[in-house]
A and B are shown apart, each in its own frame.
Chain A
């Protein structure tokens, strides 16, 4: 019965920020279901609430009203302790600015989530090296972040996000700080990982080229879902625009 249900279920999800007297509705009644194994892109103009939605799914923030379920856990009501464990064991975060620990080598950065989970040194070193190998950085394990390129740093961050074998990857503009060529490589790698590992991923971007890799694209505007496109619809749409452009 559980299996039929979606992995993520957002119901009338709202998040209000108050800045002094003014209140900003960063999210304003979002209903969204995301299935296991799905790759969903959140798109929309700056300030439309993409990051806010992602942070709510990731348990980094709590809704002002509404519910956000991930499997059998309602994140809004969960205790701080449960949220910490949820973030550590079930989520992999990938940030725009990589957020690697600057004094730690690549392999040590990948080890951090395993260390937080209390795994012993030997086991976590083995796992971290394996993960670095999988993102193609086996030879760079001992390098500090400052000795790596942007693309390499993001690969380390991806390896780190996978360390505790999460079910769900959350990425906020993961290619935002990379050139388009490197960004494409990173996206291809993520897509490969999703397919082979059966992971679910929610990715925030404002780049339609990036979103085009996703199964579904959720368009946000002013804290509301404007429309949701499936890959099939979008391909048609893309074909149309391509023809239109070709005619012009």
Chain B
């Protein structure tokens, strides 16, 4: 018997009991649908995250100094740095081949009480520098300039304020433009009660909501130096973070161990992404197990249906054996039949899983739209590999479920089978 004949025989036999065949394959449909939806979600979200990370730039390497443990009592003190990033380190990295750009940064400690003073009004405000790439979270839209420029100049004494900061001072958006070029003051207050005033000139207003003042590196270093009472803090404590932008991702990957060997803490987005990938794999496996459970139940349904249909067709099997069908013919015929139930469920499951993904994606996009979140994209992606693997898996489930019934049919004694009523 040729394979083509086997398949067409199996199809015509399945067609005899359409309702039963469809009911049996529903288990497979549900299982495959679950797996396809879950895995396509995993794939979609991963692609989206990859995209976001790629926008930030995978060729960046983040260096921070090694420091001693900090605890509750020392958290406001200057960190004990065992290996600070000094200006000469930064200069040396700038000279490395394959390095395009090195940006060093200084952060003010969390506990610094800082206020913005415009005229007579004062407002608590956070101090930072140019928004660093690390601070720029994935899925966020970059801020826009409402007045002047939002690029913090290198020249000290300049300041960029956010819309959020000005709103709290009851300054209307139509007054923003007039603010550019005006003097403002930042007042720091130490826990010991002393205050220090730093004068700035406004260069621009950014659209951000969080009340923030962005000041150049030199000013932040000066503020930090005052806070810790170390006038030349860059030479003693060094920078808090350095971002090295390599020419390529491969070059970035080479920089990581190299700088790590110099005794600094080094991270790259690539490493973070690898970790995220691992997490996603685990989540995917867990979610797919739900579908796997459905498939297990489905396979029992297939076993049941096959046993039932073999019982009904006992006489036919006897006839076929009497007129020259071998055990192998009968076994293969029923295994193909069971495999077809799986395959059919697989096809429908993949299509409906894909459809469900499209539907859910619409719902998510609608929600994002409503919440005005800055994300777009497909969160459910059915790749050809996913479709193919699910299809094979569904068929395999059917074939495995068919093993036992098909063997029973193959072993039937033709004379006994022919006497069967």
5 A-B pairs besides A85-B324, A100-B319 with CB distance below 8 A are: A84-B321, A89-B324, A101-B316, A112-B320, A118-B2
Query: A interface vs B, CB < 8 Å?
Result: 55, 58, 60-61, 80-81, 84-85, 87-89, 93, 95, 99-104, 112-113, 115-118, 160-161, 164
Query: B interface vs A, CB < 8 Å?
Result: 1-2, 5, 12-13, 16, 315-316, 318-327, 329, 414-415, 418
Query: A117 near B414 (CB under 8 angstroms)?
Result: no
Query: B329 near A116 (CB under 8 angstroms)?
Result: yes
Query: A117 near B324 (CB under 8 angstroms)?
Result: yes
Query: A88 near B323 (CB under 8 angstroms)?
Result: yes
Q: From known contacts A61-B415, A101-B316, A116-B329, infer whether A87 and B322 are also in contact, taking CB-CB under 8 Å.
A: yes
Q: Min CB distance, A171 to chain B, in Å?
A: 13
Choice from B1, B323, B325, B327 contacting A80 with Cβ under 8 Å: B327
Tell me the total A-B contact number using a CB cutoff of 8 A.
58
Q: Complex Cα distance A103/B5, Å?
A: 15
Cβ contacts under 8 Å, A99 to chain B: 315, 318-319, 322, 418
Q: Min CB distance, A23 to chain B, in Å?
A: 18
Cβ contacts under 8 Å, B325 to chain A: 84, 88, 116
Cβ contacts under 8 Å, B316 to chain A: 101-102
Q: Which of B318, B321, B326, B329 has the most CB of A within 10 A?
A: B326
Tell me the nearest residue of chain A to B6, going by C-beta: A115
Q: From known contacts A95-B418, A103-B13, A103-B16, infer whether A60 and B323 are also in contact, taking CB-CB under 8 Å.
A: no
Q: Complex Cα distance A93/B415, Å?
A: 13
Cβ contacts under 8 Å, A116 to chain B: 1, 320, 323-325, 329
Query: B323 near A87 (CB under 8 angstroms)?
Result: yes
Cβ contacts under 8 Å, A88 to chain B: 323-325
In the assembled complex, 7 residue pairs joining A and B whose CB atoms fall closer than 8 Å, in A order, are A87-B322, A89-B324, A101-B316, A104-B12, A115-B5, A161-B323, A164-B324
Tell me the nearest residue of chain A to B323, going by C-beta: A113
Q: Which of B2, B319, B418 has the most CB of A within 10 A?
A: B319
Q: Complex Cα distance A99/B318, Å?
A: 9
Cβ contacts under 8 Å, A87 to chain B: 322-324
